[in-house]
Amino acid sequence: MDDVLALVRARGGRATVSRRVILEELFEAEDHLSAEALAEAVQAHAPDVHLSTVYRNLEDLQRLGIVVHTHLGHGPATYQLASLAHAHFICEGCGAAIEAPDELFRGLARMAKNRLGFSIDPRHFAILGRCADCV
C-alpha cells in the first residue's frame, strides 16, 4: 500500500485522498469488483469520489501494473490487484465463476509457444463452459 503510493509518486503522480481510498478498498476486497461496486465501497468512506475518478484511477493503476481488469462475461469489467490475478472459468448455465489455477495452462502455453510463437496470458478474458452442476 505504501509501496504503491511511493511508486505513484516516483512516476510523478500524487497521493490524493481518492487514490488512497480506492487503493484501500482494492486491498481489502477479497473478490473482483466492478468499477461501479468499487465506487460504492469507496463512497462509504469518501462520499464525493465520483465514478469517473474511480475509472481514471483504475486506468492509472493499471498503467503502473498494480491493478488488472478481467472480463468475466458480458457485464462490466472487474478489477483486482495484479498480484492476485488468475484465470477463470465461467459457467454459461448458472454464471458461476471458478478460479482456474495457472498450472492448468502450462501445456497450452507450451504448445502455443512452440507451434505459433505465441505467449498466452489466459487471465484477461474468462473461458466459458459448463460447470459440473449444469451439464
Partner DNA sequence: TCCTTGTTGCGAGTGATTCGCAAGTGATTG
Partner DNA sequence: CAATCACTTGCGAATCACTCGCAACAAGGA
Contact positions toward a copy of itself, by CB under 8 A? 71, 89, 91-92, 98, 100, 104-105, 107-108, 111-112, 115-122, 124-132, 135
Rounded to the nearest whole angstrom, what is the least distance from the CB of residue 14 to a copy of itself in the complex?
Answer: 28
C-alpha cell of residue 115: 507451434
Cross-strand partners of 99: 88
68 binds DNA (CB under 7 A): no
- Please state, in angstroms and rounded to a whole number, the distance separating the CA atoms of residues 105 and 111: 10
Per partner kind, with CB cut-offs from 5 to 8 A, the member of DNA, a copy of itself, none near residue 32 is: none
Q: Which three cell numbers stand for residue 36?
A: 461501479
Tell me if 60 sits within 8 A of 50, measured CB to CB: no
Shortest distance (Å) from residue 67 CB to a copy of itself: 16
Rounded to whole angstroms, the Cα distance separating 90 from 73 reads 8
SS3 category, 15:
coil
Nearest distance from C-beta of residue 69 to DNA, angstroms: 7
CA distance 128 to 9: 39
Task: Choose between 9 and 110: whose C-beta lies nearer to a copy of itself.
Answer: 110
Collapsed DSSP state (helix, strand, coil) of residue 54: helix
Select the span of 5-13, 23-31, 99-107, 127-135 touching DNA (CB under 7 A). Answer: 5-13
| Residues near DNA (CB under 7 A) | 8-9, 12-19, 34-36, 46, 48-53, 55-57, 59-60, 75-77
